[in-house]
Structure 1
Amino acid sequence: MKFKDAEDVIDHIYSLPNLHPKNDLSYIKRVLDVLDNPQNKVKTIHVTGTNGKGSTTYYLSNLLKKAGQKTGLFVSPYINKFNERIQLNGNNIPDNDLVTVANEVENAIIKLRLSDPNFSLVTFEYETVMAFLYFAKQKCDYAVIEVGIGGEHDKTNVITPEVSVITTIGLDHEKIIGPTIQDIAKEKSGIIKHNRPVVLGNIPDKVLSILEKKSGKEQSKVYLLNRDYQVTDEQQIEYRYFDKEILFDKRPQVESYDIAIALTAFYLLKVDLSDKKIQQAINATQIPGRYQLVQKHPDIVLDGAHNIQAMKNLLEFVHKQNKILGGKVKVLITMMKDKDLDQVFSLFNESDQITLTTIPYPRAAKLADFPIEVREKYNYAEDYQVAYKNLKNDLNVNDILLVTGSFYLVGAILNMEEH
Structure 2
Amino acid sequence: MKFTNVDQVIKRIYSLPKLHPKNDLSYIKRVLKQLDNPQDSVKTIHVTGTNGKGSTSYYLSNLLQKAGQKTGLFVSPYIYEFNERIQLNGRSISNDKLIKVANEIEVAIDALKKVDPSFSLVTFEYEVALAFQFFAQEKCDYAVIEVGIGGKHDKTNVITPEVSVITTIGLDHEKIIGPTLTDIAQEKSGIIKEKRPVVLGNIPKDVLEILLNKAKQETAESFLLGRDFQVKLTEKAIKYNDSQQEYTFLSRPLVEAYDIGIAVKAVQLLNIRLNKKTVENAINETKIPGRYEVVQNKPEIIVDGAHNLQAMSNLLNLVRQKKKEKVYVLLGMMKDKDLGPVIDLFEDEKVTLTRIDYPRAARLEDFPKEAQEKYDYEDNFKKAFTNLKNKLNSNDMLLVTGSFYLVGAILNYCRRDK
Normalising by structure 2, what TM-score? 0.99
Partner of 1:382, secondary structure, is strand
Give the fraction of aligned pairs with identical amino acids, expressed as a percent: 65
Q: How does 1:138-287 map to 2 (within 5 A)?
A: 138-235=138-235, 236-287=237-288
Aligned residue in 2 for 1:89? 89
Mapped partners of 2:197, 2:291: distance in 1: 28
Mapped partners of 1:243, 1:125: distance in 2: 39
Which 4+ runs in 1 deviate beyond 6 A? none
Residue 274 of structure 1 and its aligned partner are, at CA, apart by: 1.0
Aligned residue in 2 for 1:342? 340
The runs of 5 or more residues in structure 2 that have no matched partner are: none
Which residue identity lines up with residue 381 of structure 1 in the other structure?
A: E
Mapped partners of 2:109, 2:244: distance in 1: 51
Aligned residue in 1 for 2:289? 288
Partner of 2:321, secondary structure, is helix
Mapped partners of 2:69, 2:415: distance in 1: 31
Residue 305 of structure 1 and its aligned partner are, at CA, apart by: 0.4
Which residue identity lines up with residue 386 of structure 2 in the other structure?
A: K
Mapped partners of 1:386, 1:337: distance in 2: 21
Mapped partners of 1:53, 1:358: distance in 2: 25
Mapped partners of 2:102, 2:77: distance in 1: 19
2:392 pairs with 1:395: yes
Mapped partners of 2:244, 2:54: distance in 1: 28
CA deviation profile, 1:331-376 (whole Å, cap 9, x unmatched):
0001111111111011111x21110011100011111111100010
2:353 pairs with 1:356: yes
Mapped partners of 2:190, 2:163: distance in 1: 13
Partner of 2:351, secondary structure, is strand
Mapped partners of 1:378, 1:189: distance in 2: 39
Mapped partners of 1:180, 1:100: distance in 2: 42
Partner of 1:114, secondary structure, is helix
CA deviation profile, 1:113-161 (whole Å, cap 9, x unmatched):
1110111100000000000000000000000000000000000000000
The runs of 5 or more residues in structure 1 that have no matched partner are: none
Mapped partners of 2:374, 2:178: distance in 1: 31
Residue 381 of structure 1 and its aligned partner are, at CA, apart by: 0.5
Aligned residue in 2 for 1:410? 407
Aligned residue in 1 for 2:311? 310
Mapped partners of 1:382, 1:45: distance in 2: 40
CA deviation profile, 1:292-325 (whole Å, cap 9, x unmatched):
111111111100100000000000001111x2xx
Mapped partners of 1:143, 1:245: distance in 2: 26
Q: How does 1:47-86 map to 2 (within 5 A)?
A: 47-86=47-86
Aligned residue in 2 for 1:17? 17
Residue 394 of structure 1 and its aligned partner are, at CA, apart by: 1.4
Which residue identity lines up with residue 340 of structure 2 in the other structure?
A: D
CA RMSD of aligned residues (A): 0.6
Partner of 1:239, secondary structure, is strand
Report the count of equivalent residues: 415
Aligned residue in 2 for 1:36? 36
Which residue identity lines up with residue 314 of structure 2 in the other structure?
A: N
Residue 275 of structure 1 and its aligned partner are, at CA, apart by: 0.8
Mapped partners of 1:88, 1:80: distance in 2: 17
CA deviation profile, 1:139-192 (whole Å, cap 9, x unmatched):
000000000000000000000000000000000000000000000000000000
Residue 243 of structure 1 and its aligned partner are, at CA, apart by: 3.0
